[in-house]
Homo-oligomer: A and B are copies of this chain.
Amino acid sequence: MIAALPLNCRFPIKVPSLRIATALVSVLLAAGWGQADEGIWLYNNPPRALLREKYGFELTEPWLEHLQLSSVRMGGASAEFVSEEGLVLSNHHVGSRSLQRLSTREHNYLHDGFYARTRAEEKQCPGLEINVLVNTEDVTARVNAAVKPDMSDEAAFQARRAVMAAIEKESLDQTGLRSEVVTLYQGGQYHLYRFKKYTDVRLVFAPEEQMAFYGGDPDNFEYPRFDLDICLFRAYENGQPARVTHYLKWSASGPAENELVFVSGHPGRTDRLRTAAELDYLRDVEYPRTLQRLKRQEVLLSAYSARSEENGRRARNDLFGVRNSRKARDGGLAGLLDSRLMGRIKESENQLRAAVATNASLAALQGAWDRIAQAQKIIAEHTMDYELLERGAGFNSSLFNFGRELLRAAEERPKPDGERLEEFRESARASFEFGLFAEQPVYPDLETLKLADSLTALADGLGYNHPLAQKILDGKSPRQRASEAVRGSKLASAAIRRQLYQGGRQAVSQAGDSMIELARLVDADARAVRKMIEPQREAIRQAHAQLGKARYVIEGASHYPDATSTLRLAFGTVKGYEEDGRQIPFETTFAGLYHRAAEQKYRPPFDLPERWVTNRKKLNPATPFNFVCTADIIGGNSGSPVVNRKGEFVGIIFDGNIQSLVAEFIYTEEQARAVSVHSSAIIEALQKVYEARPLADELLGKGRSK
């Protein structure tokens, strides 16, 4: 699964773009870059020439605009409008948090699926908002002007943050649109993005999780696959379904083999210009440590889930995210430990360094690599404290997060906007409050378990005798401390959170809430380590901006910026690949699903939901189910539409195969593939399995669903 969900979907590995590698070390590649389906392109700088040359396809402005305005950002992932009445399609695993929040002991929509036969039955999703990118504006000059040449890294960081906040605030005031300044080309450019926001989003349809995630963790990141990983929502405005001008027309036939397709979505993060120092840090520090945390959580949540069905329901979303992330990181670390691949990347870095050294106009940029190495060293020294104290590894608890949000909001709100911690800027206020006030279940047993385990990790990481660890544990065992903190908190109630938030500093300090007090205990240290790390990260960003500049001078041509969760256009060919001497076909079918289930003797997670057993005869077994293409995708592309030359919807991205995990470092076309649900499968399943013909008709544009 490749959704960019909170914990599990950042793939923060940067490697030099293949274009550099091509330009500098063409011998390393069998095919020149001109032939590769590489790139996550900006809508305002798409690969027109490449598409024309390789595929004879002419990108037009109306085509692009239509696809852009049909594309939707949902959480850290992607979605798309698929009907004029505001129907929004994404992946089940993107919608799963909403499905879980709507579920109760009586109705487990995550497990059993959901279908609203009437508009009245469509269920509003607490805390879910979606955004459509309406327009963008280059504000690079204004951001850069705020930074004076003699500023320290930290002062530059503060100045840039302040001007970005001001630009966002102005834009919001002027347009009423959600406004964000995004950083592109490692700080080479800053663009203002304006979004139309929908905050009333209702659940329309979801299959059983079993079918959405058929094969479960064992088949995750594998191919061939048989997953109906979809979820349908409807955007509402003023209590009515939103009328949208731009939505994707449905292709009932889907893509053919070797057909050109496009992917529009929000790739979360690539960093394809990482230096050797950064790669070493990732290999030696970040990946091993993150994997330790993930494996620890996976074991904890698996054991808890196994004790009863209800436990399984409560922990499902957490466990899902942790497993997904663990598998992705294991794959990434395997790449970092592949000296052949890393050798290629470092070789191209050396060649870029050599080219910079011989170009007088780039003399000033030569120090960039050393500055990165220096900053990376400081980060390495503090990263464990940062993860434990500030990033939640020591306090894995929703209640703790609420406590910290309330504590910090009370402290940050009175400050001038530009001086606040990023998440408390005015421009983020609405979304912050939306999240804080959303009703969501909090399970005391699971909270206690997670907090006790993460306090144990904290005692290990800081050292048990560290004064802060002693202060936090307060003479108790992690289990006792966690139990007390959970029992002493009222923050599970959204009403109480709202009341404390609105009461400001005084209300928060007088609340006597154990989680707020726990957050307070650690807050000075957490802020201090954050203040240590953030300027170093900014220094790295700035050095990368310089490397980007050098790259531009040497390369002399336009290229795509690294992914930053902003809307991008990718393209590729629908085709299979060879693996261990076998040819893996480009698509699977419903017949293949039933074959896999039988071969695995229907044991979970290879068993079939009841509906798929009873309605088997009705289905056309030859219906294509999943397919693969060569498009350049990454975590966050989950839910992205795949469209054909006519801009019609032919499928929805939901995963990458295991070979694509190396795409964090370098795009390869040999075996790496994006995996999608086929448009035909969605229609066939809605009609024959779920008795949801009106919904299928709406997708096919055959008039309103009831």
On A, residues with C-beta under 8 Å from B are: 216-218, 280, 283-284, 288, 291-292, 295-296, 298-299, 302-303, 306-309, 326-327, 333-334, 337-340, 456, 459-460, 463-464, 473, 475-480, 600-601, 603-605
Contact (A306, B217) CB under 8 Å given A298-B299, A299-B295, A326-B299:
yes
CA distance A143 to B291 in the complex (A): 48
CA distance A478 to B480 in the complex (A): 41
CA distance A216 to B284 in the complex (A): 36
Report the 8 A-B pairs with minimum CB-CB distance, sorted nearest first. Answer: A218-B306, A338-B477, A288-B460, A218-B307, A295-B299, A295-B295, A337-B477, A298-B299
Point out the residues of chain B lying under 8 angstroms from A460, CB to CB: 284, 288
CA distance A284 to B480 in the complex (A): 19
19 A-B pairs within 8 Å (CB atoms) are namely: A216-B306, A217-B306, A218-B303, A284-B463, A288-B460, A292-B296, A299-B299, A303-B327, A306-B605, A308-B600, A309-B601, A333-B456, A337-B464, A338-B477, A339-B473, A339-B477, A340-B475, A340-B477, A604-B604
Point out the residues of chain B lying under 8 angstroms from A600, CB to CB: 308-309
Point out the residues of chain B lying under 8 angstroms from A309, CB to CB: 600-601, 603
Q: Could you tell me if A476 and B339 are in contact, using CB atoms closer than 8 angstroms?
A: yes
Point out the residues of chain B lying under 8 angstroms from A291, CB to CB: 296
Residue on B with the closest CB to A327? B303
Q: Could you tell me if A337 and B218 are in contact, using CB atoms closer than 8 angstroms?
A: no
Point out the residues of chain B lying under 8 angstroms from A459, CB to CB: 337
Residue on B with the closest CB to A218? B306
Q: Which secondary structure dominates chain A's binding surface? A: helix
Q: Could you tell me if A334 and B299 are in contact, using CB atoms closer than 8 angstroms?
A: no
Given contacts A337-B464, A339-B475, 17 further A-B contacts (CB under 8 A): A216-B306, A217-B306, A283-B464, A292-B296, A295-B295, A295-B299, A298-B299, A302-B302, A309-B600, A309-B603, A334-B477, A337-B456, A337-B473, A338-B480, A339-B476, A339-B477, A340-B475
How many Å from the CB of A346 to the closest CB on chain B?
A: 13
Point out the residues of chain B lying under 8 angstroms from A339, CB to CB: 473, 475-477
Point out the residues of chain B lying under 8 angstroms from A288, CB to CB: 460
Q: Could you tell me if A217 and B333 are in contact, using CB atoms closer than 8 angstroms?
A: no
Point out the residues of chain B lying under 8 angstroms from A479, CB to CB: 334
CA distance A337 to B458 in the complex (A): 12
Residue on B with the closest CB to A478? B337
Residue on B with the closest CB to A463? B284
Point out the residues of chain B lying under 8 angstroms from A307, CB to CB: 218
Point out the residues of chain B lying under 8 angstroms from A605, CB to CB: 306
CA distance A561 to B86 in the complex (A): 76
Residue on B with the closest CB to A453? B330
CA distance A283 to B476 in the complex (A): 15
Which one, B296, B327, B334, B338, contacts A295 given CB within 8 A?
B296
Point out the residues of chain B lying under 8 angstroms from A217, CB to CB: 303, 306
How many Å from the CB of A108 to the closest CB on chain B?
A: 13
Point out the residues of chain B lying under 8 angstroms from A464, CB to CB: 280, 283-284, 337
How many Å from the CB of A380 to the closest CB on chain B?
A: 13
CA distance A696 to B464 in the complex (A): 54
CA distance A326 to B299 in the complex (A): 9
CA distance A216 to B280 in the complex (A): 41
Residue on B with the closest CB to A326? B299
CA distance A302 to B309 in the complex (A): 19
CA distance A473 to B343 in the complex (A): 15
Point out the residues of chain B lying under 8 angstroms from A477, CB to CB: 334, 337-340
CA distance A74 to B284 in the complex (A): 43
CA distance A463 to B283 in the complex (A): 10
Point out the residues of chain B lying under 8 angstroms from A284, CB to CB: 460, 463-464
CA distance A632 to B295 in the complex (A): 33
Residue on B with the closest CB to A337? B477
Residue on B with the closest CB to A480? B338
How many Å from the CB of A8 to the closest CB on chain B?
A: 14
How many Å from the CB of A541 to the closest CB on chain B?
A: 26
How many Å from the CB of A668 to the closest CB on chain B?
A: 15
CA distance A299 to B300 in the complex (A): 11
How many Å from the CB of A406 to the closest CB on chain B?
A: 29
Residue on B with the closest CB to A220? B303
Residue on B with the closest CB to A292? B292
CA distance A216 to B604 in the complex (A): 16
CA distance A296 to B326 in the complex (A): 11
Residue on B with the closest CB to A308? B600
Q: Could you tell me if B334 and A478 are in contact, using CB atoms closer than 8 angstroms?
A: yes
CA distance A599 to B2 in the complex (A): 36
Point out the residues of chain B lying under 8 angstroms from A473, CB to CB: 337, 339
How many Å from the CB of A399 to the closest CB on chain B?
A: 21
Residue on B with the closest CB to A338? B477
CA distance A283 to B306 in the complex (A): 28
How many Å from the CB of A302 to the closest CB on chain B?
A: 7
